[in-house]
């Protein structure tokens, strides 16, 4: 559980928070989409019954192509660079690899229920991250937090992280790390859908194309 707290929570949260301030979200989405492919390779060697099959490889490739269709080919042109931009890309890529390793650790850990596992993992990750939070870039923290910001943190903490962790540990035990890793293909689709529903954004043709490709990739890789 300590390993999950470090590899699956503390480290990727910090890497993504730092990296996404320096690169576009589209490029970050592509880099994060590497996670299912890394999980596929690791699970093949480390998890019994999670063999790498042609159907899975095809499905993951189609899903990754759907991510490219969603964010647009222009995002690929931003790969590379130098200095802080390159470090930010490597940080997000390393975060994706951390998530892949975390699915293997979660699958191979000794048996425990999802609720106690989530509470212990998130509690340890909080204690490990707290010293960094107490060394802010601006000395006004936390006095300057508005009510809206606190509500946002509360919602993100309760639903997106706490409840999400319970579902995560339930799924990785029931369906395995390879299946669970496919959520990285679905996250951008939900982001687009929420933008349409709540922010008045208009869907483009590539959004619908990406939806079809990603769902097709998931279906091909998980036919059973």
Query: 182, 162, 178: which is closest to 9 by C-alpha?
Result: 162
Q: Provide the token pair at 202.
A: 């208009």
DSSP 166: H
Query: 213, 102, 71: which is closest to 168 by C-alpha?
Result: 102
Cβ(33)–Cβ(97) below 8 Å: no
Q: Please, what is the angle between helix 205-221 and helix 54-71, to 10°?
A: 170
Cβ(184)–Cβ(36) below 8 Å: yes
Whole-model pTM: value is 0.83
Query: 93, 74, 85, 82: which is closest to 21 by C-alpha?
Result: 85
Find where tokens 């979200």 sit: 25
Along the 224 residues of the chain, how does pLDDT read in single tens digits? 999 999 999 999 999 989 988 887 777 877 888 888 899 899 999 998 888 888 888 988 888 888 878 777 666 666 767 778 889 989 999 999 999 999 999 999 998 999 999 999 999 999 999 888 787 666 555 566 788 888 988 998 999 899 999 999 999 989 889 888 888 888 877 877 888 888 887 877 877 888 888 888 888 887 76
Give the pLDDT confidence score for residue 76 in this predicted structure.
65
Give the pLDDT confidence score for residue 153 in this predicted structure.
87
- Burial string for 188-222 (b: 16+ CB within 10 Å, else e) reads bbeebeeeeeeeeeeeeebbeebbebbbbbbebbe
């Amino acid at each position: 559980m300590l390993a999950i707290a470090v590899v699956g929570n503390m480290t990727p949260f910090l890497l993504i928070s730092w990296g996404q301030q320096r690169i576009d979200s589209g490029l970050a989405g592509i880099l994060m989409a590497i996670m299912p492919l890394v999980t596929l390779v690791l699970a093949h060697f480390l998890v019994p019954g999670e063999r790498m099959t042609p159907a899975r490889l095809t499905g993951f490739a189609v899903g990754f192509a759907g991510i490219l269709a969603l964010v647009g080919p222009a995002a690929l042109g931003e790969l590379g660079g130098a200095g802080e931009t390159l470090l930010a890309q490597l940080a997000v890529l390393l975060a994706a690899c951390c998530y892949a390793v975390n699915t293997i650790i979660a699958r191979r850990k000794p048996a425990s229920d999802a609720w106690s596992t989530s509470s212990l993992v998130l509690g340890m990750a909080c204690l490990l991250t707290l010293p960094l939070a107490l060394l802010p870039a601006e000395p006004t923290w936390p006095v300057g937090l508005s009510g809206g910001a606190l509500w946002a943190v509360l919602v993100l903490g309760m639903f997106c992280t706490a409840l999400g962790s319970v579902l995560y540990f339930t799924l990785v035990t029931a369906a395995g790390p390879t299946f669970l890793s496919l959520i990285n293909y679905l996250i951008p689709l939900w982001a687009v859908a929420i933008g349409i529903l709540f922010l008045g954004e208009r869907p483009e043709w590539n959004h619908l194309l990406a939806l079809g490709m990603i769902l097709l990739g998931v279906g091909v890789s998980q036919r059973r």
